[in-house]
Structure 1
Amino acid sequence: MFVRKKWFLAAFGLFLLYAFSIYIYLFHGADTSIPDSLKGTSVDPMTFMDSKTLENSETYSKIRNFFFFISTPLEWLFFGMVLVSGLSKRLDRWGRDSWKRQFMQTGAYVFWLSLLMFVVFLPLSYLRYKISLSYGISTQVFSSWMKDNLIEFWVDYTMTAIVVIVLYWLIHKSPKRWWLFGWLLSIPFTIFVMFIQPVVIDPLYNEFYPLQDKELEEKILALAAKAEIPTDHVYEVNMSEKTNSLNAYVTGVGANSRIVLWDTTLSSLDDDEILFIMAHEMNHYVEKHIYLGIAGYLLLTLVGLWLTDKWMKRVIRKRGELYQLESMQKISSLPLFLLITSILLFAANPITNYVSRVQETRADQYALKMTDNPEAAVTSFQKLSESGLSQMNPPFLVKLFRNSHPSMLERIQLVKEYEKMQDK
């Protein structure tokens, strides 16, 4: 009991120290100013934001980044406490007492762990929601926000239960090679989820329909034809009831691949700006970034599952008594599995974000060549930054661990370099 109490105090103390360090870095240590040589140019937010919006963008970005950096370590603390407190062992026993079949026991365990996690982290989610409302980013009423949270809970639970039931069945059948067989099964599962995402999962949250502005649709389809992209429709999604932010994206694979525009984007950008955004998204299709992303994800999954196997066995062997774990084969080891995979995913962020930023840069370059309208590119970046209250020049750690896109400063600078090349 003394050892567990000591662990609780040490883990909580380390988390508080980490959170304090991140707070100091984001709010007082990191330099997010624009270089003096760029002040007064199109990169400078003072040229397109009023003083109040500029102040809000800095403060809101710092708050949002702070939540990002503490949320994942808070999950680690949660999983550790579930293990050390013996709650995981009790949930396992509860499932075995309630159900005869192993897959039902596993499903019940995943449900109670997921529900506990949902309840514990709901106040933090609510706080983020209220802050987003106060800064005018979110426009979503509470009932709609709560509905989305409940939908997300059931979608996540369903996916997690399927994966965990299969993985723990493999661990029972092949304790040494479960990670390899699990990875092989993850290939068709990942592709299947990507295939159904646009037509099954996404519509649970929002309403999708063909672009209503037919004149704009003709322009976009003409751009798609120029890019040799076979498509008949661009999809619009009703997001104005939930946010003031702007976005457009490519989703799905195969016959279900889609280019999607938020209605907030349509109402805030002019046709030239939208065509630039669309050309950017089309590049993801042309260069098959979605498929490259799937391949990269599967490669990381293979390495991650192998490392998880080695790490779990080592922890159980050396710290099994502290975490109240006797074997990796028991479902009570799931919090340790989730803890390790979460750590590995967080550690992989700099790699995955770097690859994504390279792809996004290539998409910007492609869009500039396709539209040859640098002015529309600059104003679209400015409006995206203003609507989302995002920093033009975020801190280094934010770029490293969070940003999947280049900073707006870098993107506008890319446009300026393109203009110089055209002038030569």
Structure 2
Amino acid sequence: MCDNVGAAYDLAGDPGAAVRVLEHGAAVAHPSALACLRRLLGVLALTGDVAAREAAADRAAASGDPETVSIGVWSLGDLARDRGDLAGAADAYRRAIGTAAADSVPYLTCELGHVLRRLGDDDAAYRAMESVLGSGHPGQVLIAGTALGGWLAEDGRLAGAAEAFGAAAAAGAGHPDPADEDHGNHQAALDGLAAVAGRADGAGDHAVAVRALHLAAAGGVPGDAVRIATEYGAEAAGRGDLDAARAYYKGAAAFPPDGAPSALVDLADLLAAHGAAGEARALLEPLAASADGRVRLAATTRLLPLLKAAGEDDLALRLAAQAAGEPPSPNPPRSPSPPRSPSPPRSPSPPRSPSPPRSPSPPRSLSSSRSPRPNSKPPGRRPPRSRPPSPARRAARRAAAVCRAAAAC
């Protein structure tokens, strides 16, 4: 009974009354008094009455009840930490973990990890936080992963930092609302991934940068991750580093949840501009058969000039017809209207000469609350013709339109 009354006073904003009720109930020689003692420890932590809190914690630690013992020792650990006795705090947290309920262990382990880091026992601190990452407790995974990622990044261990931040970002991906209490930690994890990607890119460790951005995509911001990866890829190509450009564009194309095939189209543009026509063609040919009409059209308009240059005019014409939407059947339906004419492909710029080593740029931002861009408005339909063209003429016109756009026919 006193537990409920004390909780009511606490919720009403009267901790003094809550302490009086709970102290009276905790003094009763009855097993139910332990619930009042446990509640009392929580309220005393808010009042700042260190002496009363320590006395209650000692009683709880000596109670013999595992749950109450754990909370008492936990409180003793907090008190030791607050007065600067970090070794005593670490010892108390370890003892509390030994008797704590399973759902309390991740909280205690996070406290232990922080104290161990302050003691300079980095490996033990890392192990403590890593154990929390596998706990299945999203809130504590967010806290542990963000803390561990920050420590590893400070220590120059960028690959490990990316994995820790990534675990936190994945745990917080369901909290995009800024009003959610876990949103801040989720955003901190995403900021950590952006910082790791920026540092890794500046250091030339492109594999780690791509991995950090992959984890950001999995953590809820795929659009931002693709954007940053392609920016880094374009910058690498501008420096003449095609290997790095390949890593970024191919990485972006495979980011979760659905990948970004358009990144491969952009990569093919870069490769063709740098004289790697065969590699560009190998990227574009599968995309020219994509089920996504926009990807298929973009890939085909870039593939047609390569086929023309190789003397494969017949294949270019067939692909142009396919990209225009003409089905392979000899008797296609007559009702669909023609698609929009594609925009001409971008003229590839010549490769720039390599620039001197650069200073790492500030990390790009990854926002967990950014609203997606609206889809572009679909084109209006053309007025119906009085006499639809024949299937053969329609196919020829579509093929010619695509060929003209690609300057290949």
Normalising by structure 2, we get a TM-score of 0.23
Please state which structure has a larger fraction of its residues in helix: 1
Higher relative contact order (CA 8 A, sep 6+): 1
